[in-house]
Structure 1
Amino acid sequence: MISLTRLNGQSVTVNAIYIEMVESLPDTTITLSNGRKYFVTETEDEVTRLVKQFYRQVGLVGVRADVEGSS
Protein backbone atom coordinates (compact mmCIF):
# COMPACT_ATOMS: atom_id res chain seq x y z
CA MET A 1 0.00 0.00 0.00
CA ILE A 2 1.18 3.52 -0.72
CA SER A 3 0.05 6.73 0.97
CA LEU A 4 -0.89 9.65 -1.27
CA THR A 5 -2.58 13.02 -0.90
CA ARG A 6 -5.83 13.89 -2.69
CA LEU A 7 -6.21 17.37 -4.18
CA ASN A 8 -8.40 18.39 -1.22
CA GLY A 9 -5.55 17.56 1.19
CA GLN A 10 -6.99 14.28 2.48
CA SER A 11 -4.67 11.32 2.80
CA VAL A 12 -5.54 8.16 0.88
CA THR A 13 -3.86 4.76 0.93
CA VAL A 14 -3.90 2.86 -2.36
CA ASN A 15 -2.98 -0.75 -3.02
CA ALA A 16 -0.17 -0.30 -5.56
CA ILE A 17 -0.80 -3.74 -7.04
CA TYR A 18 -4.08 -2.46 -8.52
CA ILE A 19 -2.60 0.63 -10.19
CA GLU A 20 -3.04 0.29 -13.93
CA MET A 21 -2.01 3.76 -15.09
CA VAL A 22 -0.48 6.99 -13.75
CA GLU A 23 -0.88 10.15 -15.85
CA SER A 24 -0.23 13.87 -15.55
CA LEU A 25 -3.30 15.61 -16.99
CA PRO A 26 -2.04 18.19 -15.54
CA ASP A 27 -3.00 16.81 -12.11
CA THR A 28 -1.58 13.38 -11.38
CA THR A 29 -4.31 10.86 -12.11
CA ILE A 30 -4.11 7.28 -10.91
CA THR A 31 -6.38 4.73 -12.57
CA LEU A 32 -6.92 1.42 -10.81
CA SER A 33 -7.68 -1.86 -12.55
CA ASN A 34 -11.37 -1.53 -11.52
CA GLY A 35 -11.61 1.83 -13.34
CA ARG A 36 -11.64 4.00 -10.22
CA LYS A 37 -9.59 7.20 -10.54
CA TYR A 38 -7.74 9.17 -7.89
CA PHE A 39 -6.39 12.69 -8.39
CA VAL A 40 -3.37 13.32 -6.17
CA THR A 41 -0.87 16.08 -5.40
CA GLU A 42 2.20 13.88 -5.83
CA THR A 43 3.93 13.99 -9.21
CA GLU A 44 3.91 11.08 -11.62
CA ASP A 45 7.58 10.45 -10.79
CA GLU A 46 6.87 10.42 -7.04
CA VAL A 47 4.04 7.90 -7.48
CA THR A 48 6.28 5.71 -9.65
CA ARG A 49 9.01 5.83 -7.01
CA LEU A 50 6.55 4.88 -4.25
CA VAL A 51 5.19 1.98 -6.31
CA LYS A 52 8.69 0.66 -7.03
CA GLN A 53 9.57 0.98 -3.35
CA PHE A 54 6.41 -0.94 -2.40
CA TYR A 55 7.13 -3.71 -4.92
CA ARG A 56 10.64 -4.12 -3.51
CA GLN A 57 9.33 -4.10 0.06
CA VAL A 58 6.90 -6.95 -0.57
CA GLY A 59 9.33 -8.89 -2.74
CA LEU A 60 7.55 -8.54 -6.09
CA VAL A 61 10.62 -7.03 -7.71
CA GLY A 62 14.20 -8.08 -7.09
CA VAL A 63 16.84 -5.49 -6.36
CA ARG A 64 20.12 -5.71 -8.22
CA ALA A 65 22.97 -3.99 -6.38
CA ASP A 66 24.58 -2.76 -9.62
CA VAL A 67 21.49 -0.71 -10.68
CA GLU A 68 19.94 0.20 -7.33
CA GLY A 69 21.50 3.67 -7.23
CA SER A 70 20.57 4.53 -10.82
CA SER A 71 16.76 4.76 -10.43
Structure 2
Amino acid sequence: MIKLTHLAGEPFVLNAELIRYIEASPDTFITLVNGDRIVVREGTDVVVDRVIEYHQRKNLLPPGITRPNSGET
Protein backbone atom coordinates (compact mmCIF):
# COMPACT_ATOMS: atom_id res chain seq x y z
CA MET A 1 0.00 0.00 0.00
CA ILE A 2 1.24 3.50 -0.83
CA LYS A 3 0.04 6.85 0.50
CA LEU A 4 -1.09 9.35 -2.13
CA THR A 5 -3.18 12.51 -2.35
CA HIS A 6 -6.26 13.07 -4.52
CA LEU A 7 -6.11 16.19 -6.69
CA ALA A 8 -8.62 17.84 -4.32
CA GLY A 9 -6.18 17.34 -1.41
CA GLU A 10 -7.71 14.29 0.28
CA PRO A 11 -5.10 11.67 1.27
CA PHE A 12 -5.73 8.00 0.51
CA VAL A 13 -3.91 4.69 0.40
CA LEU A 14 -3.63 2.68 -2.82
CA ASN A 15 -2.73 -0.97 -3.26
CA ALA A 16 0.37 -0.68 -5.46
CA GLU A 17 -0.29 -4.20 -6.80
CA LEU A 18 -3.30 -2.82 -8.72
CA ILE A 19 -1.40 -0.24 -10.78
CA ARG A 20 -1.30 -0.99 -14.51
CA TYR A 21 0.44 2.23 -15.56
CA ILE A 22 1.09 5.86 -14.60
CA GLU A 23 1.02 8.84 -16.93
CA ALA A 24 1.43 12.61 -16.70
CA SER A 25 -0.62 14.86 -18.96
CA PRO A 26 0.04 17.28 -17.08
CA ASP A 27 -1.72 15.86 -14.00
CA THR A 28 -0.63 12.41 -12.82
CA PHE A 29 -3.11 9.71 -13.81
CA ILE A 30 -2.88 6.20 -12.37
CA THR A 31 -4.69 3.50 -14.33
CA LEU A 32 -5.54 0.37 -12.36
CA VAL A 33 -5.72 -3.18 -13.67
CA ASN A 34 -9.54 -2.97 -13.68
CA GLY A 35 -9.46 0.14 -15.91
CA ASP A 36 -10.32 2.69 -13.19
CA ARG A 37 -8.31 5.93 -13.35
CA ILE A 38 -7.22 8.06 -10.40
CA VAL A 39 -5.76 11.58 -10.56
CA VAL A 40 -3.20 12.38 -7.85
CA ARG A 41 -1.19 15.42 -6.75
CA GLU A 42 2.11 13.56 -6.65
CA GLY A 43 4.23 13.52 -9.78
CA THR A 44 4.96 10.34 -11.69
CA ASP A 45 8.49 10.11 -10.24
CA VAL A 46 7.14 10.25 -6.69
CA VAL A 47 4.54 7.56 -7.40
CA VAL A 48 7.13 5.29 -9.02
CA ASP A 49 9.52 5.80 -6.10
CA ARG A 50 6.77 4.86 -3.63
CA VAL A 51 5.90 1.75 -5.63
CA ILE A 52 9.56 0.71 -5.66
CA GLU A 53 9.81 1.28 -1.90
CA TYR A 54 6.62 -0.77 -1.41
CA HIS A 55 8.05 -3.72 -3.33
CA GLN A 56 11.34 -3.47 -1.45
CA ARG A 57 9.46 -3.59 1.86
CA LYS A 58 7.75 -6.75 0.62
CA ASN A 59 11.17 -8.13 -0.36
CA LEU A 60 10.08 -8.38 -3.99
CA LEU A 61 12.96 -6.13 -5.06
CA PRO A 62 16.43 -6.18 -3.56
CA PRO A 63 17.57 -3.12 -1.58
CA GLY A 64 19.36 -0.48 -3.61
CA ILE A 65 17.10 -0.64 -6.68
CA THR A 66 16.12 2.87 -7.75
CA ARG A 67 14.06 4.38 -10.49
CA PRO A 68 16.06 4.83 -13.69
CA ASN A 69 16.68 8.46 -14.60
CA SER A 70 14.37 9.03 -17.52
CA GLY A 71 14.63 12.82 -17.70
CA GLU A 72 10.89 13.15 -17.12
CA THR A 73 9.26 15.00 -14.24
User: TM-score, normalised to structure 1's length?
Assistant: 0.87
Letter in 2 for 1:34: N
Residue number in structure 2 paired with 1:57: 57
Question: Tell me, which stretches of 5 or more residues in structure 1 are unaligned?
Answer: none
Aligned-CA RMSD value? 1.5
Go from structure 1 to structure 2 and tell me whether the alpha carbon gap of 1:6 and 1:48 turns closer, same or farther (over 3 Å shift).
same
Residue number in structure 2 paired with 1:11: 11
Go from structure 1 to structure 2 and tell me whether the alpha carbon gap of 1:57 and 1:34 turns closer, same or farther (over 3 Å shift).
same
Go from structure 1 to structure 2 and tell me whether the alpha carbon gap of 1:59 and 1:11 turns closer, same or farther (over 3 Å shift).
same
Question: Comparing both structures, which one devotes a greater share of its residues to helix?
Answer: 1
CA distance in 1, matches of 2:32, 2:66: 28
CA distance in 1, matches of 2:66, 2:16: 22
Displaced runs of 4 or more, over 4 A: none
User: TM-score, normalised to structure 2's length?
Assistant: 0.85
Which has the higher Rg, Structure 1 or Structure 2?
A: 1
CA distance in 2, matches of 1:40, 1:58: 24
CA distance in 1, matches of 2:65, 2:35: 34
CA distance in 1, matches of 2:59, 2:65: 18
Q: Percent identity?
A: 36
- Structure 1 residues 24-61: Cα deviation after superposition (integer angstroms, max 9, x where no partner): 01100000101111100000000000000000001111
